[in-house]
Amino acid sequence: MGKKVTIICPLYNAEKYILDLNKSIWNQKKVDIEEIKYILTECDDKTEQLMKDEKIAYEKIKVDDFSHSLTREKSAFNSNGDILVFISQDIVPVNDNWLFELVKPIISDKVDATFSRQICENNSIEKYTREKNYPIESRVVSKKSIDELGLRTFFFSDASSAIKKDVFINLNGYDQKNLPINEDMYIAYKLIMNGYKIGYQASSMVYHSHNFKLKELYKRYKSTGRFFKENEYIDKFGTNRTGGSLAKYILKRSLEDKNIAVLFKFVPNMAVRYIGMKVGKR
């Protein structure tokens, strides 16, 4: 195939994920994996011991040294692969073609970056947000897509994504900025505005589920609001329109499914997102 893949995965309190994740990566077919770069932030569970027992290589960093952007960027700049694959510790590949399907359009030079379809395994609000954000049809976006898609042009998730290493280097990664959230949207904006293409690969599938409490959701959206305040040039593409469209979809789908639990939580959940975003932007 020619192109070698470097996988970059930050870890923190990952004892319930690491062994299955590592096994599922090495079980992937038709892909030349050059290296897996695990970056383990000091933690208080058994992650490190499990990795030592299984002889899984990793780099260890202090809690204060972890950054969503800088930790990934440093690892990427020091990698050996032609394609960088960023993943989070809590994804579960749906099958052994996940990685091949993710990097295939990059290898054939159709696009410069890709991201996977994420499927939620619980019956929460997140099930519907995943459906909306990760549909069953693949798509390619470029600068030409902005008029039609607005902010969604820059939708990108490094829970499972890939990018040409030379492109990442040429764009100077995350510009050595310490981004507490949305580092994936930051790089997606740079890709699109510099004339590159991003492919959403619906055939590359991972299970990825959360069940955020309202307090966690508020904190997350407050951080997101702060990101948009600090990067106002991205915000002008319409965060409110995107949020409104998502809320309508969740309501419609939960009514169709008669999902009483979601309907019961809908108003407080959406309110917390909205307030968190507003406070963050202020």
User: Which residues, 6+ apart, have CB-to-CB distance to 95 below 8 Å?
Assistant: 205
What pLDDT score was predicted for residue 26? 98
Q: What are 187's two structure tokens?
A: 């790089």
pTM (two decimals) = 0.95
Give all domains of the chain, ordered by start, each with its CATH number.
Answer: 4-211 (3.90.550.10), 212-282 (no CATH)
Q: Of how many residues is the chain composed?
A: 282
Cα atoms found within 13 Å of the Cα of residue 164, Cβ hemisphere only = 18
CA end-to-end distance (rounded Å), the chain? 49
**Euclidean distance between CA atoms 27 and 49, whole angstroms:** 22
The number of beta carbons lying within 10 Å of the beta carbon of residue 195 is 9
- From the list 176, 18, 184, the residue with the least C-alpha distance to 116 is 184
**Euclidean distance between CA atoms 43 and 67, whole angstroms:** 15
What pLDDT score was predicted for residue 239? 66
**Residue 86 β-bridge partners:** 8, 161
Please tell me the chain's helix, strand, coil percentages from 3-state DSSP, rounded to the nearest 5. Answer: 50, 20, 35
What pLDDT score was predicted for residue 2? 81
**Euclidean distance between CA atoms 93 and 229, whole angstroms:** 34
- What is the 3 state secondary structure string of the chain? CCCEEEEEEEECCCCCCHHHHHHHHHCCCCCEEEEEEEEEECCCCCHHHHHHHCCCCCEEECHHHCCCCHHHHHHHHCCCCCEEEEECCCCEECCCCHHHHHHHHHHCCCCCEEEEEEECCCCCHHHHHHHHHCCCCCEEECHHHHHHHHHHHHCCCCCEEEEEHHHHHHCCCCCCCCCCCCHHHHHHHHHHHCCCCEEEEEEEEEECCCCCCHHHHHHHHHHHHHHHHHCHHHHCCCHHHHHHHHHHHHHHHHHHCCCHHHHHHHHHHHHHHHHHHHHHHC
Ranges of residues in the chain whose predicted pLDDT is under 70: 1, 239-240
